[in-house]
Structure 1
Amino acid sequence: MYGVPEPTKEQSVKIIRQAFDHGITFFDTAEAYGPFKSELVVGEAIKPFRNEIVLATKYGWDIDQQTGQRTGKVNSKPEHIKRVVDNMLKRLQTDRIDLLYQHLADPEVPIEEVVSAVQDLMKAGKVLHYGLCEVSPETIRKAHKIQALAAIQSEYSLLFRGREHDVLPVCQELGIGFVPWSPLGMGTLAGYVDERTDFGKDPSRDLRAILPRFEANAMRNNVKLLQLVQKWAKAKLCTPAQLSLSWLQAQYPFIVPIPGTTKSYHLMDNIGADGVQWTNAELNQFRQELEQITIVGDRLPEAILKFSEVR
């Protein structure tokens, strides 16, 4: 996805189990990752400790359940959700999904119908908790009135802070967890990319090849953020990744970032973020410096962004 060779199943299983051995108990996947490949690997990896972790996955893209072929559309029709969940349980080798998300809103299916379908799955014991991704405060409130939401997942990082003034306050008010995806800005905040990085031209190998914020002109501006992160990481005796993740965790106690990795040393780097503490004075000073930087470029291509309720 981000320009690295796809790891083997054995390598993926090994790193997931290494994460568990070092205290990670929340694992996030989705039927769309692969499609299906990620769920199959996660299901195999977590078998020895299934009852000791929280397993989250997502439905919502229109994917042929036999072939894995994508249509490029979304699908949250109740009958589709139920069929998808049954297949998820098989791939994940489990009898229940701890946290089931709607990956993206379906404009053709009212949220009330979506929630009703999930409630049926909860009554059947197939789903324990549910959440939504990339949705507006209005949708959150509407859904939460019918069935309590456990979590909202949306992009949030130092590179993209768009949810600070709409979704996060609602989560705080209603007591809903918030799970930031891409908490390291697709490698930017860990120091792995800069204005000289070549992402190629094939988005199937590296999604950043078609992301506006990673275009050359945008990166020449956006690298200012990396420079700020590197400066503060040096001062706080940590890595850029640790600084970026710890900053997220310092915003609200209900935030749980989900950084992904295929490498053991990146995993251990990310885990080290728990040891980085911020004082209120540091947070205020960092925020002042952060506000001086304007990020250039949309976070996603329009073909994907059009399905999100929040830009």
Structure 2
Amino acid sequence: MQTRKLGPFDVGAIGLGCMNLSHAYGVPPSPEEGGKLLLRALEMGVTHFDTAALYGFGANEKLVGEVLSPHRSRFTLASKCGMTGVDVKGDGKLVRVIDGRPATIKATCEASLRNLRTDVIDLYYLHRLDKQVPIEDSVGALADLVSEGKIRTIGLSEVSADTLRRAHAVHPVAALQTEYSPWTRNPEIAVLETCRELGVSFVAFSPLARGFLADALRDPTAVDAFADKDIRRGMPRFQHGHFEANLLLLDAFRQLAREAGCTPAQLAIVWVLAKGDDILPIPGTSRIEHLEENLGAADVRFDQALLQRIDDLINERTVSGPRYPEATQAEIDTEEFRPA
């Protein structure tokens, strides 16, 4: 696999988002099956693994640590702080909380180091901006962790160009991570340009549009089969009305994939790769066959004319519905397109 720069690190152009193995899309695979997938990714040349304290409330970091720590020198390890599970009511049930206070960031890092079975995390992101805490304070805590040798570089997730500039003024930011695919173009408003100006790598999560562009959801009834804990249940684009409108885009997208000689999932990943050699997609999956399919995108080639046809087909004007419900959108800092 070709390599790209992730801050100071050289990593495979396609990384692995590990969230699906413990979190977010219904019942996760068993730890044994998840471990097999992680090892298969390493075997196939993945050298960029991305996890977070939030995923499974520590379970994902523990899985990555147990399976991959014997191979620690072979890959770049990324994790995230600032959004974790807290027993708010004292009843043993963890609730997701955004907390960017310096003390919380440092405590979360200590737990992550234990869970990941490592002495240092290569890239440590602030998972979400805590709007009650100045970004300068949160990044200052991350800078302390760099000085202490507990993390090597700092990243930010789901932040605006302005927040990136403020953070970068405190300490160099190695990477910014947010959702990017043909159907989520928000980074094109300002973040991609600012990353390039500051020399910050851009990591694209959900390059398959949460499975939509992988052609896994073929008819209007597919959304009714989502598991109870599948986060897509609350996402407007996957709700009736919006979803049926979005399905109308898929036939043409499948045709473009056939023209490129690849699968729809591969075409979506190649679209992200083609947007710049400073962009690193991290598709996630819980199935080895999908992992192998996704990594096969590294071998797909197509011309700029096809890229333009994807741009014209699926974009912020043709996709129906916002990417997050209002409550979630209020928590994040990314720029949003204004309604036409």
- Confirm or deny a common fold (TM above 0.5): yes
- Correspondence list, 1:142-221, <5 A: 142-200=166-224, 204-221=228-245
1:76 is aligned, of 93, 96, 100, to: 100
Gap change, CA 1:246 and 1:201, over 3 Å in 2: closer
Superposition deviation, residue 202 in structure 1: 7.4
2:149 corresponds to 1:125: yes
Out of 17, 21, 33, the position equivalent to 1:11 is 33
Equivalent in 51, 55, 60 of residue 29 of structure 1: 51
Displacement of 1:72 in angstroms is 4.0
Aligned to 1:243: 267
Mean Cα deviation higher: 284-293 or 68-77: 284-293
Alignment match, 2:65: 43
Q: How far did residue 104 of structure 1 move? A: 0.6
Tell me if the contact between 1:3 and 1:206 (Cα under 8 Å) persists in the aligned partners.
Answer: yes
Counterparts of 2:81 and 2:93 in 1: how far apart (Å)?
14
Distance 1:62 1:239 in 2: 35
C-alpha displacement of 1:147: 1.1
On the 8 A contact 1:40/1:91 being kept in 2, the answer is yes
Question: Which residue, 320, 326, 339 being the options, matches 1:296?
Answer: 320
Structure 2: gaps (5+ residues): 1-22
Question: What residue is the counterpart of 2:298 in the other structure?
Answer: 274
Q: Distance in 2 between matches of 1:286 and 1:22?
A: 28
For the pair 1:54 / 2:80, whether they are aligned, the reply is no
Q: Matched residues in 2 for 1:180 and 1:68: separation?
A: 34
Q: How many Å separate the matches in 1 of 2:40 and 2:180?
A: 26
Aligned with 1:149: secondary structure? Answer: coil
Unaligned runs of 5+ in 1: none
- Count of aligned residue pairs for this structure pair: 311
Residue 88 of structure 1 corresponds to 112
Q: Distance in 2 between matches of 1:69 and 1:129?
A: 32
Deviation at 1:49, TM superposition (A): 1.2
The residue type equivalent to 2:215 in the other structure is G
Letter paired with 1:94: T
**Counterparts of 1:67 and 1:23 in 2: how far apart (Å)?**
43
| 2:252 is equivalent to residue 228 of structure 1 | yes
Give the C-alpha shift of residue 284 in structure 1.
2.8
- When the two structures are superposed, what TM-score results if normalisation uses the length of structure 1? 0.94
String of CA shifts for 1:226-264, please: whole Å, max 9, x gaps. 223201101111000000000000001111111111111
Q: CA separation in 1, counterparts of 2:316 and 2:157?
A: 29
Match of 2:136 in 1: 112
**2:185 and 2:316 in contact (8 A); partners too:** no
Counterpart residue type for residue 50 of structure 1 = R
Residue identity opposite 1:100 in structure 2: Y
Task: Report if aligned partners of 2:175, 2:200 keep a CA contact under 8 Å in 1.
Answer: yes
Between stretches 298-307 and 122-131, larger displacement belongs to 298-307
Q: Is the 8 A contact 2:236 2:242 kept in 1?
A: yes
Distance in 2 between residues matched to 1:52 and 1:213, nearest whole Å: 38
After TM superposition, give the deviation of residue 159 of structure 1 in Å. Answer: 1.7
Post-superposition offset of 1:74: 1.1
For CA contacts below 8 A with separation 6 or more, give which structure has more relative contact order: 2
Q: Would you say 1:257 and 2:271 are equivalent positions?
A: no
Q: Work out whether residues 36 and 68 of structure 1, in 8 Å CA contact, stay in contact via their aligned partners in 2.
A: no
Distance 1:5 1:60, change over 3 A: same
Amino acid at match of 1:188: F
> Please, what TM-score do these two structures have when normalized by structure 2?
0.86
In structure 2, C-alpha distance between the alignment counterparts of 1:42 and 1:193, rounded to whole Å: 29
Question: Cα offset for 1:289?
Answer: 3.6
On the 8 A contact 1:105/1:308 being kept in 2, the answer is yes
Shift of 1:146: 1.8
In 2, the alpha carbon distance for the partners of 1:261 and 1:63 equals 23
Q: Say if 1:201 and 1:287 are closer, same or farther in 2 by CA, change over 3 A.
A: closer
CA spacing shift, 1:173–1:215, aligned 2, 3 Å: same
What secondary structure sits across from 2:182 in the alignment? coil
Contact 2:256–2:306 (CA under 8 A) maintained in structure 1: no
- RMSD across aligned positions (CA): 2.1
Q: Give yes or no for contact 2:253–2:310 (8 Å, CA) kept in 1.
A: no
